Amino acid sequence: MKIQERTGAGGGRSSVPAQPMAGERLPAPPRERKPALAALAVLLILVGALGATMLVLRAGDRIEVVKVTGDIPAGGAVTKANTASVMVAADAGIHYIPWEQLDGLMKLKAINAIPAGVVPVGEMFAAETGVAAGQATVGLSLKEGQYPNGLEAGDLVAAYRVGSTTGTGSTTGSSDSSSSGAGTTLIVDKAKVTYVKPAASSGDVISSTNLPVTLTVDSTKAADLAQAAAAGQVALVLIPSS
C-alpha cells in the first residue's frame, strides 16, 4: 500500500502550482483618447505664435518725421536748413509731424522757442503768433556788456536805462520806476526775450558786434524802452523765471 501511494503521488500531477512562462505580459487596458485637449493645445500654440508675430510687426512700424536741428525762437519758423528727417516708432497718441509735410510746416510759426534736437509735435506751431492784448515787442541792438552772456529766447530780463539822463526829461516808464544807482533807472521790471540772434559760427562774416534782441513787454513801457534803445542806453539783467 505504501508503494502505491508513493507511485500515485509522483506519477501524474505535481503539487506545485504552475507559473506563467517567461515573456508573457498581462493585457493593458485601452488608452482613453482626449481629442478636445489636443485641439486646445494646438490652439494655444497658434495664439502664442500670432501674438509674437504682432509684437515683431509693431516694433517695426516706424515713420519718418521732422526733427529740429537748430534753435527756433518763439515766432520763428522751420526751414530746410534747421530740420532733418528721423525715424520714430509710430504712436497714435503723439502728433508727430510727417516729413512729407515739411513744406506746409514752414508756413507756420513756433508758439514758443524750440531748442535744437527736439522732435516737435503739431501743438508747438500755429498759423499766427500775434502779441497778446496789452503787450508789445521792442527790438534792441545791444553792445557787449549790455546783456548777460548766454542770453536765450524764453529768458526773463529786467531792462535798465544806463548813462546820464540829464536833460532828457521824465518819461512815463521812469517816473514810477526805482533807481538802482547814479544814472541807472529801471525801465521794465519783467520782459520776455522772444528772439536772440544765434552766435556766429567760425565761417560766418561778422557784420556787426551788436547783438539783436527782441523783448515782449507791457505796452505802457514800450515807448520808454524803444527811446532808450535808440540812444544805446539799455542794459538787460537776467531775472528768475518765477
Spell out the CATH class of 62-126.
alpha beta
Write the pLDDT tens digit of every residue in 66-119: 999 998 887 788 999 999 999 998 888 889 999 999 999 998 988 777 889 999
Please spell the DSSP secondary structure of the chain, one letter per residue: -HHHHHHHHHHS--SSPPPPPTT--PPPPPPPP-HHHHHHHHHHHHHHHHHHHHHHHHHT-EEEEEEE-S-B-TT----SSSEEEEEEE--TTS-B-BGGGHHHHTTSEESS-B-TT---BGGGEES--PPPTTEEEEEEEE-TTSS-TT--TT-EEEEEE-S--TTS---HHHHTSPEEETTEEEEEEEEEEEEEPPPPPTTS----SSEEEEEEEEHHHHHHHHHHHHTT-EEEEEE---
pTM of the model: 0.43
What values do phi and psi take at 4, rounded to 5?
-65, -35
pLDDT at position 73 is 81
Neighbours of 151 (CB within 10 A): 15
Look up residue 82 and give its three cell numbers.
534747421
End-to-end CA distance of the chain: 133
- What lies within 8 Å, CB to CB, of 66 at 6+ separation is 78, 83, 84, 85, 86, 96, 97, 98, 99, 101, 102, 105, 119, 120
pLDDT at position 137 is 87
The confidence band for 197, taking pLDDT boundaries of 50, 70 and 90, is confident
pLDDT at position 129 is 59
Q: Kindly report the average pLDDT of the chain as a whole number.
A: 77
Q: Give the lowest-confidence range in 6-10, 41-45, 161-165, 211-215.
A: 6-10
What does the alpha-carbon distance between residue 216 and residue 137 come to, in Å, rounded to a whole number?
4
User: Per-residue pLDDT for 138 more than 80?
Assistant: yes
What does the alpha-carbon distance between residue 226 and residue 80 come to, in Å, rounded to a whole number?
34
Neighbours of 83 (CB within 10 A): 20
Write the pLDDT tens digit of every residue in 19-71: 555 556 666 666 666 677 777 777 888 878 777 766 655 555 889 999 999 98
Q: Where are the domains of the chain?
A: 62-126, 135-200+208-239
